[in-house]
């Protein structure tokens, strides 16, 4: 007589919730780390077009600049991804702050894209007009410098929105205790310093690369870096927010 197969263990709601939250934390943390892996090298890769006023009439390094632009594109998309992935969780603490965080991230990415287009326009200008007979080199240099200046301003305002991101997401993380409070505190402390530095730069009092900027960056830098690492390694800490998080549409999409 055949022996009946043992019943298949049923997945409990708590197990589904735990797996779903772990996936969200892992993906969000990975996307935060991608923003570092893309944005930091991009600054060095783009150096020829950013710091050589004669780039547009010179031999150029178009492949290198295009690759740097690609890194910035990855950074911008990862910025949006961090907010979209975290939204289903952090909205349970405050939907208004969570929506603000998504909006700030989307705006940051949009500003970064403006800077990307301006640098790619310099590459196109050099390729299409730089070698054209009769082209005015001085006019080309002036136009190229104007496009680079656009990128410099986007570099101030785009990543400068890290202050808004730290204020919104830092507040959500601090209140919800989804991560140790020391992590969002770094961001919240860095907000006034970054705002002061960026405002001073807007009015010509401070250079983008200066002592004040160097003092303003560590808080925001280590806030996002430590958040990404913690989410990848540890995930969310148990809290009232995660306790009420059940099997949602996220699970259906991720299956």
Write out pLDDT tens, residues 153-211.
998 888 777 889 999 999 999 999 999 999 999 999 988 888 888 888 888 877 766 66
Task: Tell me if 119 sits within 8 A of 49, measured CB to CB.
Answer: yes
Asked if residue 250 belongs to a domain, the reply is: no
Task: Tell me if 41 sits within 8 A of 71, measured CB to CB.
Answer: yes
How many distinct structural domains can be found in the chain?
1
Residue 5, pLDDT > 60, answer no
pLDDT at 218: 87
Counting every residue written for the chain, the total comes to 255
Sorted by sequence, the CB contacts under 8 Å of residue 102 that are 6+ apart come out as 83, 84, 87
128 confidence band (pLDDT: 50, 70, 90): confident
Q: Could you list the residue range(s) of the whole structural domain that residue 133 is in?
A: 17-239
Residue 254, pLDDT > 50, answer no
Asked if residue 69 belongs to a domain, the reply is: yes
b/e per residue 61-87 (b: at least 16 CB within 10 A): bbeebeebbebbbbbbbbbbbbbebbb
Average pLDDT over residues 78-102: 96
Asked if residue 61 belongs to a domain, the reply is: yes
pLDDT at 4: 54
The count of C-alpha atoms lying within 13 angstroms of the C-alpha of 11, restricted to the half-sphere facing its C-beta, is 8
Q: Angle 96-97-99 (CA atoms, 0-180°, nearest 5)? A: 65
Asked if residue 2 belongs to a domain, the reply is: no
Asked if residue 5 belongs to a domain, the reply is: no
The mean of the pLDDT values for the chain is: 87
Average pLDDT over residues 108-113: 95
Radius of gyration of the chain (CA): 23
Asked if residue 194 belongs to a domain, the reply is: yes
Asked if residue 78 belongs to a domain, the reply is: yes
Assign 164 to helix, strand or coil. Answer: helix
Asked if residue 170 belongs to a domain, the reply is: yes
Q: What is the pTM of this model?
A: 0.87
């Amino acid at each position: 007589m055949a022996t009946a197969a043992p019943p298949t263990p049923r997945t409990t709601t708590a197990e589904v919730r735990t797996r779903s939250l772990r996936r969200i934390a892992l993906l969000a943390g990975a996307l935060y780390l991608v923003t570092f892996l893309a944005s930091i090298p991009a600054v060095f890769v783009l150096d020829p077009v950013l710091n050589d006023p004669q780039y547009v009439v010179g031999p150029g390094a178009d492949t290198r600049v295009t690759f740097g632009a690609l890194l910035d594109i990855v950074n911008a998309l990862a910025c949006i991804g961090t907010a979209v992935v975290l939204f289903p969780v952090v909205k349970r603490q405050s939907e208004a702050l969570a929506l603000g965080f998504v909006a700030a991230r989307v705006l940051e990415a949009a500003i970064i894209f403006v800077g990307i287009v301006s640098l790619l326009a310099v590459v196109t200008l050099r390729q299409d007009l730089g070698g054209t007979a009769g082209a005015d080199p001085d006019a080309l240099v002036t136009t190229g410098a104007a496009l680079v200046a656009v990128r410099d301003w986007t570099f101030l305002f785009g990543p400068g929105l890290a202050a808004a991101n730290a204020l919104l997401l830092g507040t959500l993380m601090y209140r919800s205790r989804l991560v140790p409070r020391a992590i969002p505190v770094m961001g919240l402390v860095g907000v006034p310093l970054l705002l002061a530095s960026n405002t001073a730069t807007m009015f010509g009092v401070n250079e983008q690369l200066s002592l004040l900027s160097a003092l303003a960056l560590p808080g925001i830098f280590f806030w996002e870096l430590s958040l990404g690492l913690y989410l990848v390694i540890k995930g969310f800490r148990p809290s009232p927010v995660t306790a009420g998080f059940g099997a949602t549409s996220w699970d259906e999409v991720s299956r």
